[in-house]
A and B are shown apart, each in its own frame.
Chain A
Amino acid sequence: MKSDLTKAFADYAKDLNQASRDENIQKAMSRAVKSYRATTDETMRRFPHTPELAAEVREIKTQAIQNNAALLREAMASVERNKGKAFYARDAEEALRLALEIIGRGKVVVKGKSMLGEELHLREYLEDHGNEVWETDLGEFILQLKKERPMHILSPAIHVPREQVADIFSKFFQKEVPPDIAAEVGAVREFLREKYFSADVGISGANVVAADTGAMVIIENEGNVRLSTGAPPVHLLMVGVEKIVPTFQEAMKVAEVTWRYAQYGVPGYVNIISGPSKTGDIEKVTTYGAHGPKEFYVIFVDNGRSLMAGDERFSQALHCLRCGGCMYECPVFQVTAGHFGHTYLGGIGAIWTAFVSGGLDVAAPLLYTCLRCGRCVERCPMRINVPGMVGELRKMLIYGESLPGEDLPEAAIAGGVGFEHAPV
């Protein structure tokens, strides 16, 4: 098989060059980098135990990825014990099909920010199947209206200044929204409030999952996840299988390290959700759907992750907590934002692109954009060796090797290669 990537490289180079000349991106990125570094320095001084905790989490994640198959079984059993419904999706197609079966058509859906959602093109898929879907994270909401993809995993609309937001909102809300951030936030708040309480389904991701309890931990600041997962009668949570750790205690450690490196001393909200809403207040009879959702569904998504886990050269990419710290330190990202990326961004994003979101061809230009300078590793709480993995994937491209598992017959993949997934 032949694959000509020269045009992809040329187009991509043009895109990067254009981004590096975009004043909005430059302004936003230099502000963001400065503030990230200042806040993180200050936060680390306030919580000096963080690096040590990160080292502990590295070990937790390493073990958890090695034992992922068992942890997945345990987590699914815990969800079921908590009266939720747990599913395993082998690939994107299966994940989307399951989601659609749960949600149905003609529904109103409110959705929290989720990289997995981006990976699956979840919103677009549900919309194409007759649903009204609203992104509730402010940045994602802006991009939904702008029909663009996120430019940073934590601050997706990092490249859009307030003046542009005002224009977009004024058009959409069909009323004058001034280029004043508080007014802009207020306009969205008013609009989405109504959606939360009329929605049929709320969708969220999760930052970490505790297998022992089935507790799903979701970190946020806006409060949109609280509302999306609390107000509608159905909560669908979709999460990558790599997010599972053995215990609740360990999940808390992972969560703290995640938000600390995402520049927060403590986030506004940490949601812990383990099952549907219930009450036993009348005659001690457990009844579901008290104030929160009556139904709680979890889809654990593999979509290439087990292939990554099964190859010792790449399994550490699954340790990524998605704190976003590396991106602020990446010299390429600093001038191009998410243009250095596909769905997943920056150097680590190139690895994820190859395995779960696009394949080696799509990842090729990203792999060669990485300078292999290694500053991301300095910042990364998991010390993920991105330059090393980039080198390995470049080798595969050059010598025409397939990604691990690509050569395997369907049946082997269905059974799980890196993980031994028991069908549920």
Chain B
Amino acid sequence: MAVENKLPPVLDLIRGNIVKYGNPLALKGSEVAAWAKGLKLPKEGDVLFYTGGEYQLLPFIDSLVKTMTHIDQGSKSFSLMMGVRNILDKAGLNAEKIYASVLAKDRERFNSVCYKAAFVLQQLGYDLAYAGDEELYSGALLYELGFGEDLKEYAPKVRRMIEKTRAKTVVCLSPHAAEVLKLVYPKMLPGFSVEVRTFVELVWERRNKLPAISSPAVVIHDSCRLARELEVDEEIRDILTGTGVPVREAQRNRQWTTCCGGPGKLLFPELSHVMGSRRVAELEETGAETILTSCPYCLAALAGGQEKGDKTAVEDLIEFLFRGYAA
């Protein structure tokens, strides 16, 4: 007996955007690729630099969540809001425009993460290709939220995008993208054989070339996907220790890391915030001044979980390593 379940509308919003626009929040390809303008990265090459648009969409997720926190998702006003969005879509406007003005500062920060990642890898001698405004989101959220059938239809598009670049290796900035490309795609797409690596792994291989960084102690927040599914944890420590940075360890780390609460953000934003704050507190117990992570959602969730006036900084490993070059 087939049942039609009416689930919270935000799920279908995300699904629709991925399937229709190749991005969970309907960001345009040009917006997603804006960070790369000055770099003139070729569209073909052995190593494909893959952002999946994930860092770029962070400020918009927060803004969507802020809207949702004030509106009961089961309520009429929420469906009305979603309705308005759809009308705007038809008129050629999208969510991006609705939220754009609100968070220009964050937008700049998260966009620059991609630039910094490409810069660091280039400095380490990697020749990068980039799909530019043709880049598509990996579909990780389709997988995570249960839209497996939609992913089956969507994944071939991503595959074509990747194969068009003739890349042998895809380097993912987001561990969520790496997980889905490395562990889920091969099951869905026979013959999908591109090597999937994370930013951390590529840096680790050439860590001896990194410039020294002068910094007080840092603490690493291991991302769940990176530490558990992809088993990348010691590499981050090696990288930092190699650049002369003192690393403190949280009580719950590596495969025992505590989730930042990020995955709950769309449906249970308040609870997600509580979990983010608790994780920040666990990390701050170490006395480290900087919290480092290597995942866009952890970055946003932990930064959001900080108390007002909190003296610790939450940074992505990418931003931190870039500092070594800026100094």
Contact = CB atoms under 8 A, between A and B. Distances in A.
Interface of A: 1-7, 9-11, 13, 16-17, 20, 329, 331-332, 334-336, 361, 364, 368-369, 371-375, 377-378, 391, 393-402, 406-407
B202 interface: no
B224 A374 contact: yes
A401 B146 CA distance: 12
B259 A371 contact: yes
Given A394-B146, A401-B2, A401-B3, 6 more contacts: A9-B74, A13-B271, A331-B275, A331-B278, A372-B144, A377-B228
Given A6-B74, A20-B270, A371-B264, A391 B275 contact: no
B129 to A, nearest CB: 32
Contacts of A1: 1-4
Interface of B: 1-9, 11, 72-75, 143-149, 224, 228-229, 255-259, 261-264, 267-268, 270-271, 274-275, 278-279
A332 B2 contact: no
A11 B72 CA distance: 10
Interface centre among B7, B228, B229 (most CB of A within 10 A): B7
A16 B268 contact: yes
Contacts of A329: 256
B263 A372 contact: yes
Among B4, B148, B274, which residue has the most Cβ atoms of chain A within 10 A? B274
Nearest to B271: A16
Given A3-B6, A335-B271, A374-B224, A391 B263 contact: no
A375 B3 contact: no
B143 A331 contact: no
Given A10-B74, A395-B148, A331 B7 contact: no
A117 to B, nearest CB: 30
Contact of B149 (A4, A377, A395): A395
A369 B149 CA distance: 21
B7 A9 contact: yes
A3 B74 contact: no
Nearest to B262: A371
Q: Which of B143, B146, B267 has the most CB of A within 10 A?
A: B146
A400 B258 contact: no
Given A9-B74, A335-B278, A394-B146, A378 B256 contact: yes
Nearest to A402: B1
Contact of A369 (B2, B3, B268): B268
A400 B5 CA distance: 6
B74 A378 contact: no
A20 B271 contact: yes
Contact of B5 (A334, A364, A391, A407): A364
Contacts of A378: 228, 255-256
